[in-house]
A and B are shown apart, each in its own frame.
Chain A
Amino acid sequence: MMYLRQILTIAGKDLRSEIRTKEALNSSVAFSVVILILFSFAFDQAEGFEAFLGGLLWLAYSFAGALVLNRSFARELQNDCLDALISSPAPPSAVFLGKALANYGLLLVVELLSLGVFAVLYDVRLSGKLPLLLLVSLLATWGMTVIGTTFSALTVNLTMRELMLPVLIYPLLIPVLMSAMVLTTGMLTDVPIATNMVWLRVLVAFDIVFTGLAVVFIDDVLVG
């Protein structure tokens, strides 16, 4: 019970400071809109454009997501907040899960806003497809969040932090992004979900395995 309250306290702290400054949210939403606009030149709404839609959406999400995740632990460097967090009574895994929860919320907000822009710009009809899209987003975003938050903690003390994070997380995220892309494209082109069930399972398995790994090894990352 105590553990849960520690997680929620840290998540609440992160969300509150983000709502007050909006530094990660603003930049990452703006970035994802720019990416969505740039894609329109890459594909030029050609024949068979629907086949790219899922991939396009998730590329925008993952690029924008890296901006949020980069800030997650880096924002604690000022005034040695990270050391205070680590020496607080909350165990490192609670700090991690709290931060992951806050990032999860932020990423979902960024995704929701980008999805609106995406639907308008590319004339995508989402009615009737939203529940499944929500499920895919919830699962895939948690995968992104777990990997991203772990590596945000792992790279926080590096001078090349902003450069290292994308290099490290994107190869690891390939199973998540690939599954989400296949599922989203299938959904937007009215492929029955039954044919894509395997990707839903990949997402669930990825979430479970990496959440477990992260919780086990975060002590070594943060404290040592």
Chain B
Amino acid sequence: MRQNILFLMAAVFTGILVWNMNTVYGLPQQVQNVGAYKIIYLHVPAAFTAFTGFFAAMVASLIYLGTSKLKYDAFAGGVTEVALVFATANLLSGMIWARYAWGIWWTWDARLTSMLVCVLMYYGYVMLRQAITEPTQRARLSAVMSIFGMAGVAFVYQSIAWYRTQHPSPVLGFREGGGMGPGLEAPMYWNFLAMLCLAVILASVRMRQAQFATEIDSLRRMAHNH
């Protein structure tokens, strides 16, 4: 059953990706005098996927603290790692675009800074997980860290936005003042869906690995006791 869901996800992901690449290829080279804008089809969905992942991890952490079932911890851990990869992809693609459009790799702008802080925070989460060997202790402590991290992200995001901003204002239609133009937004949402599928696949792979790791660990303990 689980295998089938994964295969289905992979098929959806590949389908959307191929279809989308075709669509994006046909789009104009410049929109509103901004060149190389097509990187946004990677950049923005990656950020969405990352934040969806971090949020899902927080929810799973809360559920773990309520139920003490290790599978929720495995989910939180796996999803955070995958989200971290997408957050990094978002940062790197943004930097490449900034080099093209602004002539610099990095600027201490609100969005860039808060994303970087967010990545550092969850990098700490992954480090914390690796530093604890005892499974239930790891689950408890990293669940608390995940919840604190999400609250921290909210604070960091808002306070840095007050501090300074230079980032192009949000372009998607559901925020005010946005709007890229007809036909330009749809591929972004489709890409978001595709990346979510990919994230689910990767997270389930990580969860399976976590499962095997616990099994190996318990086998080792059994062998040790004999």
Chain A residues in the interface with B (C-beta under 8 A): 147, 150, 154-155, 157-160, 164, 167-168, 171-172, 174-175, 178-179, 182, 198, 202, 205-206, 209-210, 213, 217, 220-221, 224
Contacts and interface: CB of A to CB of B under 8 A. Distances in A.
B117 A213 contact: no
Interface string B187-210: 000000000000000000000000
Interface stretch (B44-52, B132-140, B168-176, B212-220): B132-140
B155 interface: yes
B12 interface: no
Contact of B117 (A154, A164, A174): A174
A159 B148 CA distance: 22
Interface in B142-195: 143-145, 147-149, 151-152, 155-156, 158-160, 162-163
Given A168-B124, A168-B128, A209 B147 contact: no
B151 A210 contact: yes
A77 to B, nearest CB: 15
B151 A213 contact: yes
B127 interface: yes
A209 B148 CA distance: 10
Nearest to B113: A174
A171 B132 contact: no
B144 A217 contact: yes
A11 B148 CA distance: 24
A168 B163 contact: no
Give the contact-size bracket for chain B: 20 to 34
Contacts of A159: 131
Interface of B: 65, 117, 120-121, 123-124, 127-128, 131-132, 136-137, 140-141, 143-145, 147-149, 151-152, 155-156, 158-160, 162-163
A108 to B, nearest CB: 23
A150 B136 contact: no
30 contacts: A154-B128, A154-B144, A154-B145, A157-B137, A159-B131, A164-B124, A164-B127, A164-B128, A164-B131, A167-B124, A167-B127, A168-B124, A171-B121, A171-B152, A171-B156, A172-B148, A174-B156, A174-B159, A175-B159, A178-B160, A182-B163, A202-B162, A205-B155, A206-B155, A209-B151, A209-B155, A213-B147, A217-B144, A217-B148, A221-B140
